[in-house]
Structure 1
């Protein structure tokens, strides 16, 4: 069921939600969280589609915030709220409210969102596109226990990760980090099977790919070794290699779907390592609402490298030496991701 409300208020929207639930015969509220999506008109459809699919696993009230401040002084002075209320099959297993805020109201989105939050339920805020530099200090971010950004949508994805690291607060995460969960799981499982000392590592992936940078930094942080960052044609991350005295542990994915795992003394095997849709990434993030300490450790460990790497470009090189002093050289075929100051033992288990 769909209800269109023009020049409305939060109270009228709440009344519309109750009316819609009664009309379809489900007056009870069985949702577990509120998901606030902050986006623009061009990206709203894809973001809402991904959130709706994720809500089949996590029944949610989805609030889509679209700001339209206007260009002229007259437009900015006029404050108006338009809303679409979706309940039933059009909203997955929860409820959806699309909020279009015009004029000055766009600068006070939190005042509209606050009365629409589910009582006594967690709040998650997601920025599919451009996110604030400090998500926890954003007025909408302050309402949330979990804040999701996506560095891959930024103009400079690697620099965006550095911004996330410098402004990190408990509850922050990024979809670039979520994308490497299967890689971390596979590599951690491989190390559980083969107890060998890791002397070095290498990660291959597209230039300016934030997930590739994060995987390299995670290995460097957890293993305490130098990780070489190599540029490939993609898609995304194409390979990760761990060098041991007994031979190389290699996880190679050339086509973005199927990977080959090679380990010393064992036959090569194929493993599913498909690039996942946004809905799957959001569903994974909604499974846990506590702070992700491994993500925090990884981005803060490599913040100096990330700042330098963002300016190196596809044909540049950068590294963080064990002393913590960043160095850079130009026109190298690959980049060195990081080296830890202290060894952290074997790889951490995946989240």
Structure 2
């Protein structure tokens, strides 16, 4: 019996020592976790302030680039500051609740440890801040284009013998284009889309266009002309390779590339169809002003293709194009349309 009591006393002594040691370990772990939580409170404020600073800088940059107004910039700054303050308050509340939980159960820390939605081990993924680097990158963007300027024709490769008025012959173009970034630095981009072109040719010396079989020739009009103009309405698909450093901007979780505020150059060409050809005449006859619209084919080419290029800064470029097809299908002398003007991207 004495021997059995002695054994029990040894067992209780061993258990008591083990429990004491376990309690010390638990209390130490609880203390370490409390230190981590208190350190996390400082990190929360620092991270939110750094993130807010980046947002403010981005908003100010957008205002400087005239992408948003001063009033809109102020509104966004105030919204960002309010959101940051709310984030800090929410995260602090979570940390304080976890500190309180550990303090209440410091003797049994392992049984009460919870993860309340905020990282405590300084892991990059757990403490991830949603910044510009997390934005979804759009490599393809789109917008409207418009161009206008002077048009004319090369006669057997030279403009010296052109029978068309230099300042009176004009073109207008409008369309919609997509831009796709082709390299990681956004230095090279592909631009493609669809455009409507209106190309005009105004003859000199009181002449107008006449169909003579399969030929289109210029003849003198019987009375004094106030206006004579041949207009060709075309639908074309332009394709350009655009070079130049692009600017990346961020908006609502999306990153996009644009060449705004940057030097750019594009080379390429176009293919398309002639939709309509019309000649407008304006003259005075028997004391009355008359206007005529003669909607004929004038033997113009239905299929169009050519070369085009532009060079510019920001959204404005100097633009040139040259049609490889001849204006008139079967004329004895080749005439190729050319144009020079300004091009705008929106």
Give the TM interval when normalised to the shorter protein: under 0.3
* Greater fraction of residues in strand: 2
Question: Normalising by structure 2, what TM-score?
Answer: 0.19
* Greater fraction of residues in helix: 1
Question: Normalising by structure 1, what TM-score?
Answer: 0.19
